[in-house]
Structure 1
Amino acid sequence: MDGISDSPESKVTGILQSIWSLLFAAFFFFFFWLPDLSSLMAKVMLLLALPSWWLSRAHAAWPSPRPLLLLLPLMVYLASMTLHEFDARQLGRPAHLLFAVILFVSIRGIRLHYLWIGGGVVLSILPALALAVHEHVVLEQPRVFGRLSGGDFGNFCAALSVPLLLAMLPSGRPVAQRATLLFCSVAAALIAFWSGSRTGWLIMPVVLSCLLIAGALPGAALRRLLWAMPVLVLAVLPLAGSGMDERLQRLVFEVQAYFSADIAGYAGTSMGIRLESARLGLDLCEANPGLGLGYVEFKRIALRMAEAGLISAEIPRFFGMLHNQFLDYCMLLGIPGVLVLGVFWAGVFATAYAAVRRAPDEPARFLALCLASVMTGYFVSATGGSMFSSTKGTVYFCIALLLLLKLDAEARPSLYGRDPAVRRSLPGGVPT
């Protein structure tokens, strides 16, 4: 055994294991604090992809079509532009999915240190909290955005607050770990409330429900949740301030104004734009159910309607078109586009479920919980916004997605293909 573990090939694999684990841990740790640095790390990962693929002997593994699941949304964009009109600018963010597939294939043969990566996820909340406190307390800003755009700051923190809470509930953890996880969970929830993102507030109960349905907690820990949730609520809500009440009241007012045809009350508002976009999207999808309109033609129609005063001027300016991923994909490629998007998300959630339930140890399971939460939160935010609403948010989503696929590949290797040498060594050459 010592001879095997000290072989040059094993040493190279060990070095790659440490490098990639540190890169992923650092990516998560710096994301809320220095997102440009995290983006640079993602570029470094891409540069390391080819040598890692070769040195880890991942090139000797049998290919599997399963990672192509990640490319389905990008395929919708490409098909839409092939059938309608081409606009290369709209491929920039969806193309990050190809980056995720390349990284997954490159590190497939490398066993990562999931404890390090999970630690990076947990510790990322600390600089995020410092930024949020500075904006909310020192600068007295009504909403905190950190160094991200739109609702990404609050939405990602909202998604992470739930697995951090659940991870501290099972027995056996040291007190220091429990205290750190609880503190970071409360901090992440507080950031979500201070962000003013009503989508983020919705993400937390949705993520909690999905993780409980997936069996994220054993019975004893589930009972502890009954007292942990009130503690979390009592700790966060008094610190959330009056901004939450104001945002909820504004939501009710904007919805009422829309349905009572009070244009001055809803035009250009957050909910008003969403409701107008939903009505416009449903009308255009009903008129073009087969293959949609394509991005360019939709923008022309929306711009003409905005100039005529029929819709808010903000709608033509949104990257995601209609503030709803399903309406967006219907506009891009009609009903086939919506079906492909549904297959993509079904595959993502099936992967997340398997990664959580089949994780081989606690570090892998904790990371799977965090990644599954990010996927669920991203689904909610994309349904209330856009699937690729920001570049940095898209990169975060793609890194989380490829790691989730990596965890699933280790839990269910038969679905992802195996090394041909292993197959040849089996009695009778029977493949597994």
Structure 2
Amino acid sequence: MQRTTAGDSLIAFLLVTYPALAMLFDGAASALMIAAGVLSLAALLSRRSGVQGRLDGLGLAFCIALAAPLAAVALSTLAHGRPTFPVWDSPSRFLFVIPVFLALRRASLRSLAWADLAFPVGALATLFIALFLSRDWSAGDHRLGSKFLNPIHFGDLALAFGVLSAAALNWWRRDSNWVIALKIAGLVAGLATSLLTGSRGGWIALPVVLAIVLWERGRGKSLRWKVLTPLAIVALFAVVYGASSTVRERIDVISSNLTQYQHGQEDTSVGVRLQLYKVAVELVEANPVLGLGGHGFRDAMNAMAQQGRLTPAAAQLGKGEVHNQLLAYTADYGIVGGLALLAIYVVPVVFFARRRASPSAAARGAAMLGLLFAVMFFVFGLTVETFDLKGTVSIYALIVAALAGIADRANQDASNPSLS
């Protein structure tokens, strides 16, 4: 047994507390992400070599994908002669976590094993915020968020942490009863917080997540299991829809909004999104390669409203966001930006899917968590801009990089036990 170092303790502390601290304190997500990047870079440059696992093609592709958004934003803004440096800030967060990924590939396994407590602790923190530190962001609808995260981002992150709490069961070892209870409590807390926020866009991710889990768990199962388990889940969704007035009202309003949209009433929640999506596609068609440049979509809103291509109310809301992450990047930074954004989702998904074949159970567990997290964020981004806030982009970037680093480190250990 090797002696636990101060560095091991620091890694364990950051892994366990990051989700909770990011949700509890304004600015903590970015500050801790930057600190982790700086400390990781210092560790990589230090004389202590640590575990030297060879970076394969998949790991290299992962690093390139993390660098792609900043490269695309820089290329587009510079090509338009308007650098708009503030828009470089959010995509730079992806670049900052590359050292984290590389450093965790060299970290001790005993420090990484604490990561399985991060998501239940984070999910419980979101419920604490919702119950005692929340802010009502809407007039009359009681849409709860935190003091600095609106209900959509807050609810989506709470849901993600809750799902990952359950997915982390028996990750590194067979969990003790109290750890199982903690992780189940994290699942319940995340679901409850999501319900309190009424953020229905995030709920779309649940069937996708369950489909992935069933696909993974269903290998080698009987035909009966493969048929009855999905039916039981569908029945559970039906029960939740019937029992929860919040869920029922939030889902039913979609149908109502679509009907209103068809009859000319476009200034509803769904109607505004549809207007913005349509205009975003038109702007991409007019500026396909490098887009409009930084804040290009926002600056086009007044002209679009004057031309009658969307309502004044939709134009006003469009100055805030497009409500679709892929369309937002493609409108501002062109196909180059859209492809860079897709890489942030697709490459990690491929990376984690490949690591699911690792001989290490710990690596497979980290890969499953990373796969679910990346897929959930992609689904979240279909109805809201997940990377318009520096905090949310920091959370996604750091957690994906950390899980990738853990998966690679555990995989190295299985391939070469002398590294332990």
Q: TM-score range by the shorter chain?
A: 0.7 to 0.9
The answer as to whether partners of 2:290 and 2:334 remain within 8 angstroms in 1 is: yes
Q: Check 1:40–1:340 CA distance in 2 against 1; reply closer, same or farther (3 A cut).
A: closer
The answer as to whether partners of 2:169 and 2:175 remain within 8 angstroms in 1 is: yes
The answer to whether the aligner puts 1:74 opposite 2:70 as a matched pair is: yes
TM-score (norm 1): 0.78
Distance 1:301 1:231 in 2: 46
- Give the structure 2 partner of residue 57 of structure 1: 49
Q: Check 1:33–1:330 CA distance in 2 against 1; reply closer, same or farther (3 A cut).
A: closer
- Give the structure 2 partner of residue 425 of structure 1: none
Q: 1:100 aligns with which of 97, 104, 108?
A: 97
Q: Compute the displacement of 1:188 (Å).
A: 1.2
The answer to whether the aligner puts 1:342 opposite 2:333 as a matched pair is: no
Distance 2:155 2:288 in 1: 35
Residue type at the aligned position of 2:186: C
SS in structure 2 opposite 1:295? Answer: coil
The answer as to whether partners of 1:30 and 1:37 remain within 8 angstroms in 2 is: yes
Q: Check 1:143–1:216 CA distance in 2 against 1; reply closer, same or farther (3 A cut).
A: farther
Distance 1:101 1:136 in 2: 33
Distance 1:216 1:397 in 2: 28
Q: Which moved more, 1:25-34 or 1:272-281?
A: 25-34
Q: Compute the displacement of 1:411 (Å).
A: 5.7
What runs of 5+ residues in structure 1 fail to find an aligned partner? 6-10, 423-432
- Give the structure 2 partner of residue 282 of structure 1: 281
SS in structure 2 opposite 1:110? Answer: coil
SS in structure 2 opposite 1:383? Answer: coil
- Give the structure 2 partner of residue 114 of structure 1: 112
SS in structure 2 opposite 1:293? Answer: coil
Q: Compute the displacement of 1:404 (Å).
A: 2.6
Q: For residues 147-192 of structure 1, what are the alpha-carbon distances to aligned partners after superposition, in whole Å with 9 as ceiling and x for unaligned?
A: 4423122112222333434555999654444333323212211211
Distance 1:156 1:354 in 2: 25
Residue type at the aligned position of 1:29: A
Q: Which moved more, 1:202-211 or 1:323-332?
A: 323-332
Q: Check 1:412–1:333 CA distance in 2 against 1; reply closer, same or farther (3 A cut).
A: farther
Q: How many residues align?
A: 400
The answer as to whether partners of 1:129 and 1:187 remain within 8 angstroms in 2 is: yes
- Give the structure 1 partner of residue 194 of structure 2: 192
What runs of 5+ residues in structure 2 fail to find an aligned partner? none
The answer as to whether partners of 1:21 and 1:116 remain within 8 angstroms in 2 is: yes
- Give the structure 2 partner of residue 330 of structure 1: 330
Distance 2:184 2:159 in 1: 14
Q: Check 1:316–1:24 CA distance in 2 against 1; reply closer, same or farther (3 A cut).
A: farther
Q: Compute the displacement of 1:243 (Å).
A: 2.3
Q: Compute the displacement of 1:69 (Å).
A: 1.7
What does 1:13-412 align with in structure 2 at a 5 Å threshold?
A: 14-53=5-44, 54-57=46-49, 65-66=60-61, 67-84=63-80, 85-112=82-109, 113-134=111-132, 142-150=142-150, 151-168=152-169, 173-215=175-217, 219=221, 229=233, 241-262=244-265, 266-267=266-267, 269-306=268-305, 310-313=310-313, 315=315, 318=318, 321-358=321-358, 360-362=360-362, 364-410=363-409
Q: Compute the displacement of 1:205 (Å).
A: 1.3
Q: Check 1:105–1:332 CA distance in 2 against 1; reply closer, same or farther (3 A cut).
A: same
Distance 2:29 2:219 in 1: 32
Distance 2:50 2:121 in 1: 31
The answer as to whether partners of 1:58 and 1:108 remain within 8 angstroms in 2 is: no
Q: Compute the displacement of 1:382 (Å).
A: 1.4
Q: Check 1:359–1:134 CA distance in 2 against 1; reply closer, same or farther (3 A cut).
A: farther
SS in structure 1 opposite 2:69? Answer: helix
Distance 2:134 2:38 in 1: 38
TM-score (norm 2): 0.80
Residue type at the aligned position of 1:372: L
Distance 1:279 1:397 in 2: 28
Q: Compute the displacement of 1:196 (Å).
A: 1.0
Q: Compute the displacement of 1:202 (Å).
A: 0.7
- Give the structure 2 partner of residue 426 of structure 1: none
Aligned-residue RMSD, C-alpha:
3.8
SS in structure 1 opposite 2:90? Answer: coil
Q: Which moved more, 1:378-387 or 1:100-109?
A: 100-109
Q: Which moved more, 1:279-288 or 1:324-333?
A: 324-333
Q: Check 1:98–1:343 CA distance in 2 against 1; reply closer, same or farther (3 A cut).
A: closer
Q: Compute the displacement of 1:88 (Å).
A: 1.2
Q: Check 1:165–1:285 CA distance in 2 against 1; reply closer, same or farther (3 A cut).
A: same
The answer as to whether partners of 2:51 and 2:105 remain within 8 angstroms in 1 is: no
Q: Which moved more, 1:77-86 or 1:167-176?
A: 167-176
Q: Check 1:185–1:94 CA distance in 2 against 1; reply closer, same or farther (3 A cut).
A: same
Q: Compute the displacement of 1:341 (Å).
A: 3.3
Residue type at the aligned position of 2:22: F
Q: Check 1:411–1:180 CA distance in 2 against 1; reply closer, same or farther (3 A cut).
A: closer
The answer as to whether partners of 1:307 and 1:313 remain within 8 angstroms in 2 is: no
Q: Which moved more, 1:271-280 or 1:320-329?
A: 320-329
SS in structure 1 opposite 2:145? Answer: coil
